[in-house]
A = this chain, B = another copy of it.
Amino acid sequence: MQKAGLIHPSNPGCYYYLPATVRSMEKLTRIIDQEMQGIGGQKLDMPSLCSAELWKTSERWDLMGKELLRLKDRHGGDYCLAPTHEEAVTTLVAHQMNVSYKQLPLLLYQITRKFRDEPKPKFGLLRGREFYMKDMYSFDVSEEAAYQTYESVCEAYTRLFSRLGLRCVQVQADTGNIGGKLSHEFQLPADIGEDRLLLCGNCSFSANVETMSSDRTDCPQCKTGTLVESKGIEVGHTFYLGKKYSHVFNAAFTNAQNKPSVAEMGCYGLGVTRILAAAIEVMSTEEGIRWPGLLAPYQVCVLPPKKGSKVDEAAVVAEELVHTLGETFSGLRGEVVLDDRTQTTIGKRLKDANRLGYPYVIVVGQGALEETPRFEVICQQTGETMFLSRDGLFDLLGRVETV
C-alpha cells in the first residue's frame, strides 16, 4: 500500500492514510454499519483515554503488560490508551437505570482508532500500533440468548466478507486475555498471514493451530477428512464472555420476575484497517493494487486522448461522459475520475490506471467520434476488455454496486 501511495509511514507502526485510502475506509465503514445495524447494533463512541482504575477493576491493567500504552495526565492520574473497551462499555451499561429484560439484547458498537504497543510493528497496516477497529459488545438475559446473539454476529461477519468477495474462514480460537468461554477467529487465508490454521479438506471444520495439537491430521468433526495447514490473516474475532465483565462492573437488568440479574455478554471485533490491507494483499497482482469492488476508492477512470493527437476533440466527449455518469447513476456520483493529464500518452495513463486498480477504465478515443460511438472498457477485476456502445456502457456501469 505504501508503494502505491495509499499510506505513508510516520512513527513505527503508525501511518498517514492518504486520500484514496480514506475513501476506501469510509466505504468499508458504511458496509460495517449496514451489517451491524442490520442485526440491531447501535453505534456509539467511547473515549480513547481510559482511567487505570477501570482497568485495575478487571485486573487487566497488570495483565496487558507492555501492549498497553500508558500515560499520566497533568494531575498525575494514570490512564491507558484503550486497545479494546470491555471495561468502558460494561461500566456504561451498569450506569443505565432501570434496564428491563424487554430491552435486551443490547448491541453496542463503535468504529474507532485503537492503540496497541506492538513489540515489532510490521506489514504496514496489518500489524500497527494505531489502527481502526470495529468493536461490538452484546448484553443478553441468558446464556441461551447470548449464544443466539453470538451466532447472529458471526452470520453478519460472514455476510460482510461475502459482500466484499473475500474468502474467509471461521475458525475455533483461543480466548486469550479477553477471557470467556467460546471464541472464533475470522481468517483470510494468505501466505503473508501470521496465524497457522488447520482446515479440513472434507467438511467445514477449521481451527487455529493454537487450540489443538499441530501434528494432528485427522478431522475431529467429520472423522474422515484430512487436516491441511494454511496460513491466515486474522480480520475478526468473536468472544462469548459470559459474566466475566458484567459481574465485576455489575451490569444488570431487571428480569421477568422483576429481580436484578447480571447480563450475559459477548464481544466482537473487526480489524477495519486490517481488512482493507488484507484484502489488497490477497487480491492484488504484479501489475497493481486490486480492491474488493465495493471498496475501490473510485469506480471508474475515464481517459481522454492525448493532446495534439488527431482525435483530441474526443476530450469533450470524455468530459461529458464523466458528468453524465454521475448525474445518471446516484451510486456513481463522485466515483468517476477524469485522468486529464493529456500531455501523457494513453498507454502511460492506462498503466497508471491499471496500477491503481480502478474497477472500470474507459478509453475515449477514435471510436467515440464515430457515428455510432464505441468505447473501450477495461474491467480490471476480470482483466476483460470490451468495446461498447454508449447504451452498452451505461448498461454496464448502471449495474455497478456501490455503497
Q: How far is the CA of A73 from the CA of B42 in the complex (A)?
A: 33
Contact indicator B79/A74 (Cβ below 8 Å): no
In the bound complex, do residue A43 and residue B16 qualify as a contact, i.e. CB atoms below 8 Å apart? Answer: no
Residues on the B chain within 8 Å of A21, using CB: 45
| Oligomer copy total | 2
Give A49 to B25 CA distance when docked, in angstroms: 20
Q: A308 at the A/B interface (Cβ < 8 Å)?
A: no
Contacts of A92 in B (CB 8 A): 8, 16
Q: Could you say which of A112-120, A156-164, A393-401 contacts chain B? A: A112-120
Among the listed stretches A64-72, A171-179, A188-196, which one makes contact with chain B, having 4 or more residues with CB under 8 Å of it? A64-72
Bound Cα distance from A42 to B19, whole angstroms:
6
Residues 6-28 of A, flagged 1 when their CB comes within 8 A of B and 0 if not, give 00101100111111011101000
Min CB–CB distance A26 → chain B (angstroms): 8
A167 CB within 8 Å of chain B: no
A: which residues have CB within 8 A of B?
Answer: 8, 10-11, 14-19, 21-23, 25, 42-51, 66, 69-71, 73-74, 77, 79, 81, 88, 92, 95, 112-113, 115, 117, 119, 129-130
A49-B17 contact, Cβ under 8 Å, with A70-B71, A71-B70: no
Partner of A46, one of B10, B23, B49, B95: B10
| Cα–Cα distance between A49 and B92 once the two chains are bound (Å) | 26
Known: A44-B22, A117-B73, A117-B74. A49 touches B16 (CB 8 A): no
A46 contact set on B, CB distance < 8 A: 10, 16-17
Given contacts A22-B43, A22-B45, A66-B74, 5 further A-B contacts (CB under 8 A): A11-B49, A17-B45, A69-B73, A73-B117, A81-B81
Sort A-B residue pairs by CB-CB distance and give the 7 closest, nearest first.
Answer: A71-B71, A14-B47, A17-B45, A19-B42, A66-B74, A10-B47, A22-B43
CB of A92, distance to nearest CB on chain B (Å): 6
**Across the two chains, which residue of chain B brings its CB closest to A26?**
B43
